């Protein structure tokens, strides 16, 4: 049996899976935000529950927000800032007292979709998460690609390409820089931009519904959002030219994305042709936790 844990900023999810991908049990709890050891305790409790309720012992894979610095193995690059500088792997091991594999959550998402999701059959998969934050993972040959700095896929913390005068120098990001892609294309960024024009706090799904009903401002902000996503991904296509782009996170549920993004991307890429398929993640929010379980797939 394979056990996967997705340690997210808002929820911690666990799954018990067969080696062929069939799910036996899934559990989910709200993340104890800003409580580092509370999160670790919850993960330990969840693993115990998965095993006791299935009556089986499983290998353990854990996807974490951010990643581990290659030499020190301390947490880095996490929007869940309470992981930064922490010996995450060591503390998890001391709590669980079992061998485990720990990787970045976006890498788990990419590997999941490459193995048996939207990217199955494609060699190089670039998997984008447009959720409360923005990030990406790269899978090659069905396995996550990390690189020597454990920074593969850190798309969300590149600057927005070709900024216009209103976008310079960009909004502050939790990472300490300004103008990161995350500050422009996350779901929260989309909501914040609407609020800045209207002083009305709406969820992204509500803004999209207003757009569909003909609201002019919502439509303009959607067009601006798609243009920014296209600018960011054009850099990826020009550099990596992946075989497929797989979209995840809350904004990936907007069906118009798959109509509007390809034509905007085609305007931005260096090549005169743009044939890269853009697909919605097959496993949706489940991809991260499934990918964590797949960390033990040989």
Question: What contacts 56, CB < 8 A, 6 or more positions away?
Answer: 1, 16, 24
Q: What is the pLDDT of residue 298?
A: 52
Burial 154-193 (b: 16+ CB within 10 A, else e): bbbbbbbeeeeeebeebeebebeeebbbbbbbbbebbbeb
Query: How many CB atoms within 10 Å of residue 267?
Result: 11
Per-residue confidence (pLDDT) for residue 213, from 0 to 100: 96
Q: Is domain 121-281 annotated with CATH 3.30.420.40?
A: yes
Query: Which part of the chain is CATH 3.30.420.40?
Result: 2-108+285-296, 121-281
17 three-state secondary structure: strand
Q: On the CB side of 233, how many CA atoms lie within 13 Å of its CA?
A: 33
Long-range contacts of the stretch 234-238 (C-beta < 8 A, 24+): 234/161, 234/265, 234/268, 234/269, 235/158, 235/161, 236/126, 236/136, 236/155, 237/265, 237/269, 237/271, 237/274, 237/276, 238/269, 238/270, 238/271
How far apart CA 2 and CA 24 sit, in angstroms, is 10
- For the record, the structure tokens of 192 come out as 């914040």
The single-letter DSSP state of residue 172 is B
pLDDT tens for the chain, 298 residues long, are 999 999 988 889 999 999 988 999 999 999 998 899 999 999 999 999 999 999 999 999 999 888 888 888 888 877 788 888 899 999 999 999 999 999 888 899 999 999 999 999 999 999 999 988 899 999 999 888 988 888 888 899 999 999 999 999 889 988 889 999 999 999 999 999 999 999 999 999 999 999 999 999 999 999 999 999 999 999 999 999 999 999 999 999 999 999 999 999 999 999 999 999 999 999 987 888 999 998 887 5
The class of domain 2-108+285-296 in CATH terms is: alpha beta
């Amino acid at each position: 049996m394979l056990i996967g844990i997705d340690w997210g900023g808002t929820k911690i999810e666990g799954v018990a899976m067969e080696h062929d991908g069939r799910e036996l049990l899934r559990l989910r709890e709200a993340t104890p935000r800003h409580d580092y050891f509370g999160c670790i305790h919850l993960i330990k409790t969840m693993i115990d529950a998965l095993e006791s309720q299935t009556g089986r012992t499983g290998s353990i894979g854990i996807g974490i927000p951010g990643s581990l610095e290659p030499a020190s193995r301390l947490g880095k690059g996490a929007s869940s800032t309470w992981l930064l500088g922490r010996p995450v792997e060591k503390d998890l091991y001391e709590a669980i007292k079992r061998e485990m594999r720990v990787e970045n959550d976006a890498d788990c998402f990419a590997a999941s979709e490459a193995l048996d999701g939207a990217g199955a059959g494609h060699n190089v998969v670039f998997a984008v998460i447009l959720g409360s934050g923005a990030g990406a993972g790269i899978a090659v040959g069905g396995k996550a690609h990390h690189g020597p700095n454990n920074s593969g896929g850190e798309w969300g913390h590149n600057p927005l390409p070709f900024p216009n005068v209103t976008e310079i120098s960009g909004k502050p990001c939790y990472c300490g820089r300004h103008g990161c892609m995350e500050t422009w294309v996350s779901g929260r960024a989309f909501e914040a931009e609407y609020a800045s024009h209207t002083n009305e706090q709406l969820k992204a799904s509500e803004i999209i519904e207003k757009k569909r009903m003909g609201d002019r401002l919502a439509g303009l902000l959607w067009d601006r959002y798609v243009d920014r996503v296209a600018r960011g991904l054009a850099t990826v296509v020009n550099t990596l030219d992946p075989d497929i782009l797989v979209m995840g996170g809350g904004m990936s549920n907007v069906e118009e994305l798959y109509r509007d993004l390809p034509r905007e991307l085609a305007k931005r890429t260096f090549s005169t042709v743009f044939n890269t398929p853009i697909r919605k993640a097959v496993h949706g929010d489940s991809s991260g936790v499934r990918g964590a379980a797949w960390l033990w797939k040989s």
